[in-house]
């Protein structure tokens, strides 16, 4: 299971539809679980959150590393092989505090572009499905 903690409200309709389309194709351990936290409370929650050695924490942040779909798939596979819980954090409008970024195992930038939160959520859902398919060797991903 991959836990995704996001700043803000539940998905709006167009994002919900796209995310659900990818989610219905996911199987364990790639299944997604969403937790929504008010943007104003997100950094506080995460500064108090027990980052443990049992979690592989990915922070989505424009200042992170831009990686390929294959590299994302490999990150997830390695975390699963090491019996880690995967936690993905998608911040609010102002991102994450330096304290939260410092606790992350990986800081992931989707692109040099900045995306709205609903699109970032959709990207995470699609890329997680793509990662699953890469690990299976399916034809969904054309390299």
**Beta carbons of 92 and 117 less than 8 angstroms apart:** yes
Domains of the chain: 2-136 (3.40.1280.10)
Name the nearest CA neighbour of 117 among 88, 91, 86: 91
At 41-75, the pLDDT tens digits run 888 888 888 777 889 999 999 889 999 999 999 99
Alpha helices in the chain (DSSP H): 13-23, 39-48, 69-81, 98-103, 117-136
- For 74-120, the pLDDT digits (tens) are 999 999 999 999 999 998 777 888 888 998 999 999 999 988 889 99
Terminal-to-terminal C-alpha distance of the chain: 26
Do 56 and 7 meet the contact criterion of CB atoms below 8 Å apart? no
This prediction has a pTM of 0.93
Q: What is the C-alpha to C-alpha distance for residues 54 and 124, in angstroms, rounded to an integer?
A: 21
Alpha-carbon span 69 to 25, nearest angstrom: 17
């Amino acid at each position: 299971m991959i836990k995704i903690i996001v700043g803000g409200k539940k998905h709006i309709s167009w994002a919900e539809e796209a995310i659900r389309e990818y989610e219905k194709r996911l199987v364990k351990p790639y299944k997604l679980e969403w937790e929504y936290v008010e943007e104003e409370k997100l950094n506080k929650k995460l500064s108090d959150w027990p980052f443990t050695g049992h979690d592989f924490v990915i922070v989505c942040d424009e200042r992170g590393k831009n990686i390929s779909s294959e590299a994302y798939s490999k990150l997830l596979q390695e975390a699963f092989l090491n019996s880690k819980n995967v936690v993905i954090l998608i911040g609010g409008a102002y991102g994450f505090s330096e304290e939260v970024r410092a606790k992350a195992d990986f800081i992931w930038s989707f692109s040099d572009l900045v995306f709205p939160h609903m699109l970032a959520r959709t990207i995470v859902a699609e890329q997680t499905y793509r990662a699953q398919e890469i690990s299976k060797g399916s034809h969904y991903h054309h390299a």
